[in-house]
A and B are shown apart, each in its own frame.
Chain A
Amino acid sequence: MPHDVSNKSAKQSTANALNVAVLVSVGQHPLTARARRADQDARAVEMALSLENASVSLLHAGPQDSDHEEAIRGYLGMGINSVGLIEQKPQADVIPALANALRASAPQLVLTGTRAETGEASGVTPYLLAEALGWPIITGLAAVEKVEQGVVTVLQALPRGKRRRLRIRLPALATVDSSAPAARQSAFGPARRGELAHQKAASELDEALSTWQFQPARKRPKRLKIVKSSSARDRFKAAAAKADGGGGQTLNDVTPEQGAEAIFKLLKEEGVLS
């Protein structure tokens, strides 16, 4: 197994620094469909860079051509010297290669995005890696609070801006989604100067992929509102009812107190007042 080159080149690595590896992928711009750094992976890199006393190494496994290289250089432009590139054939299963590379470099914390922006994008890769390495995995990392004696305390993002505090024994994997802080801009000069450390690895072809059909996403059909009622009158009323909208209530000529009472009632019904 080749040694992880990117690990060596990390300048700030010191004796007791936290060794963080970030798995990055090639994303796709939602409008132009150009290759770019993947948004969630860039957030993972940002989170790794914001950790105190951490040595950050980047790892990417996938096919290598000029488009991909441009996208990967987007991560280098965030202030990182080199990125480890594990060369894989297109349509290859990258899990064994990544697992081997991680076993060899033995980072304490592995960060990655929740879901890829191209291909199957099922978001299972981090879980498969965690299973292969036998490490715990947490999802939706929002912030790392502290790291001490092999235990990391993190905040996990829940829907609606809520947070949950978790403690995990290292080594561990964590995925970052779009509730993490936004990634810094990628600077052009450092992106050019950064080093791409190529590594060779055997690629295992993903057999199942060839039996699937890929096509541009169809618009999902809207669900019809079906009224099941034994009474013809109810069915007619439902069919003849005007489409929703315009159902709002307007309070005119009320005192501020009455208006406030109405708003208060609505807030309480919705349960947003703690």
Chain B
Amino acid sequence: MSEFVRRDPRKEWIARNRLHPQHLEMLAELGGGAVASEWMGPNGVMRRNPHAVGFIGPNGIRRIDRSGIQQAAQAPGRSIEAKDTRKPVTVDTPAFMVAVVPDMAGGRLSSHDRDLLGLARQLADADPAQPGAVLAVVFGEHKETTFDEAGIDRLIHLEGERFSGYLPELSVATLQSVDREMTPRHWLLPDSSVGGELGRRLAARLGERPAAQVWQVEADTESATGWRCTARGAAGRNDITRALPRIVLALAECADPVSETRHAAEPITLSNGLPDILGRIEDMGEVAVDPASVSLAEAEFILSAGNGVKNWDSYHHAAEVLGATKGASRVAVDDGFMPRDRQVGATGTWVSARVYVAVGISGAIQHLQGIQSCDKVVAVNLDEGCDMVKRADLAVIGDASQILAALVSRVEQYRAEQQENRDAA
């Protein structure tokens, strides 16, 4: 109802006429309860509020219309824009199911998961006369609140003590019982380290031949399943085109995520109950890893040193305090300050750290090649114009040893605060 804008020409006329006795009231009314721009103060002086003058135009910019023509035409219902325009979709009696097992890295749907759900939607919605439903199977606790926006119709959430930790055998047995009960037409899993393993286990258990590393799925009337997929083979050197099998392990960006519809995400439970499995693999928990022993290629956080570092003891101390893996530029290695296996760059290791802190590295092109796939790069350097500063997301110009010392004391202070909080709790 509120989508229709009702205009009252008389009120608009009063609002335009600054001499009308009801002018201020009408302005306030049409402004949606906004503050009046002019009023009589307690001492009989006219007060003005310059911020209340004008109106917000259709493109989000404040307009002051001194001619008075448009002023009253301000739409009272600007809040409509913020309303969700996604079309709600419910599938009451699905013709078939497409099951997805998202990774839920960090308890949330990752972008890879969302791409996969988009692919599942494509498969489910192909025939409007016989709509399928997308079933998601989620293991363990999660923090996700937007299952409906991601395109999930039915949700099986397996939670509780039994499903915490690394339990591949129990997960596969559970998926097998889901398969028996729902018989989904397709199983889609992300071909990542978690989903890839689970998908292959499931394929071996169900006796299906999966398609791994799928990056494209197209409709194809000639194939047996009505779909054709393209998968990478031979360590990424080949493309294999084949009919879409029942179990699909797909790469990231295999399809566009759902954005225009909102689905039910209706929670369902298994009627047969959960299987009881005596696992032969016992999870003893994650092991604390010494960051210095982590290989550079897989390190998450690297503190890298170059020619600008003069005080090597303070650098090593900083790496220990920060818990960072040590890296080095070619100069630091050639000068004998760091071992050869710590060299980052074209000749050394190509790193993929999430955070890469370059201390005193000016950024030769060979070094910048090696850090291409790093997410965040922090540069500490004396020279403002060097290439590393241009590449960096955050660059601090100054003396490396002083900044490192300050950083170490700041982190130590933070750790002490954390410790106090833990003790108090």
**With known contacts A119-B233, A162-B286, A264-B414, A136–B399 Cβ distance under 8 A:** no
Q: Is A218 an interface residue (CB 8 A)?
A: yes
Q: Is A12 an interface residue (CB 8 A)?
A: no
Total contacting residues, chain A, CB less than 8 A: 79
In the docked arrangement, what's the CA distance between A259 and B403, Å?
7
A-side contacts of B394, CB under 8 Å: 248-249, 251, 262-263, 266
Q: Are B354 and A272 in contact (CB under 8 A)?
A: yes
* Chain B positions 393 through 416: 1 when the CB is less than 8 Å from some CB of chain A, otherwise 0: 111111100111111011100100
Which chain B residue has the least Cβ–Cβ distance from A247? B393
Q: Is A130 an interface residue (CB 8 A)?
A: yes
Name the one of B59, B355, B390 contacting A267, with C-beta atoms under 8 angstroms. B355
A-side contacts of B354, CB under 8 Å: 160, 270, 272
Name the one of B193, B285, B410 contacting A260, with C-beta atoms under 8 angstroms. B410
Q: Are B395 and A30 in contact (CB under 8 A)?
A: no
In the docked arrangement, what's the CA distance between A159 and B281, Å?
20
Interface residues in A240-263 by Cβ distance below 8 A to B read 246-254, 256-257, 259-263
Q: Are A260 and B406 in contact (CB under 8 A)?
A: yes
In the docked arrangement, what's the CA distance between A261 and B209, Å?
54
B-side contacts of A252, CB under 8 Å: 384, 397
Q: Is B240 an interface residue (CB 8 A)?
A: yes
Nearest CB of chain A from residue B112's CB, rounded to whole Å: 13
Q: Is A161 an interface residue (CB 8 A)?
A: yes
In the docked arrangement, what's the CA distance between A172 and B343, Å?
37
B-side contacts of A261, CB under 8 Å: 410
B-side contacts of A123, CB under 8 Å: 196, 200, 212
In the docked arrangement, what's the CA distance between A119 and B231, Å?
12
Nearest CB of chain B from residue A63's CB, rounded to whole Å: 16
User: Which of these binds chain B: A54-62, A186-194, A205-213?
Assistant: A205-213
* Chain A positions 144 through 176: 1 when the CB is less than 8 Å from some CB of chain B, otherwise 0: 000000000101101111111111110010000
Q: Are B355 and A266 in contact (CB under 8 A)?
A: yes
A-side contacts of B234, CB under 8 Å: 28, 116-121
**With known contacts A118-B234, A213-B240, A251-B396, A166–B282 Cβ distance under 8 A:** yes
Q: Are B406 and A160 in contact (CB under 8 A)?
A: no
The B contact surface, by secondary structure, is mixed
Q: Is A115 an interface residue (CB 8 A)?
A: yes
Nearest CB of chain A from residue B236's CB, rounded to whole Å: 6
Q: Are B212 and A161 in contact (CB under 8 A)?
A: no
Interface residues in A8-55 by Cβ distance below 8 A to B read 28, 30, 33
Q: Is A274 an interface residue (CB 8 A)?
A: yes
Nearest CB of chain A from residue B323's CB, rounded to whole Å: 6
Nearest CB of chain A from residue B280's CB, rounded to whole Å: 4
Q: Are B197 and A167 in contact (CB under 8 A)?
A: no
Q: Is B201 an interface residue (CB 8 A)?
A: yes
In the docked arrangement, what's the CA distance between A28 and B249, Å?
23
Q: Is A231 an interface residue (CB 8 A)?
A: yes
Q: Is B237 an interface residue (CB 8 A)?
A: yes
Q: Are A263 and B289 in contact (CB under 8 A)?
A: no
A-side contacts of B294, CB under 8 Å: 161
* Chain B positions 346 through 368: 1 when the CB is less than 8 Å from some CB of chain A, otherwise 0: 00000000110100000000000
Q: Is A128 an interface residue (CB 8 A)?
A: yes
Q: Are A158 and B322 in contact (CB under 8 A)?
A: no
In the docked arrangement, what's the CA distance between A238 and B62, Å?
20
Q: Are A167 and B238 in contact (CB under 8 A)?
A: no
Could you list which residues of chain A lie within 8 angstroms of chain B, going by C-beta atoms?
28, 30, 33, 115-124, 127-128, 130-131, 136-140, 153, 155-156, 158-169, 172, 179, 208, 211-218, 220, 223, 228, 230-233, 246-254, 256-257, 259-264, 266-268, 270, 272-274
Q: 4 extra interchain contacts, Cβ-Cβ under 8 A, other than A119-B234, A233-B60, A263-B394?
A: A122-B231, A166-B166, A223-B253, A250-B395
14 A-B residue pairings within 8 Å (CB atoms): A117-B234, A121-B234, A122-B213, A128-B204, A162-B289, A164-B284, A166-B282, A220-B253, A233-B61, A252-B397, A256-B406, A263-B403, A266-B378, A267-B355
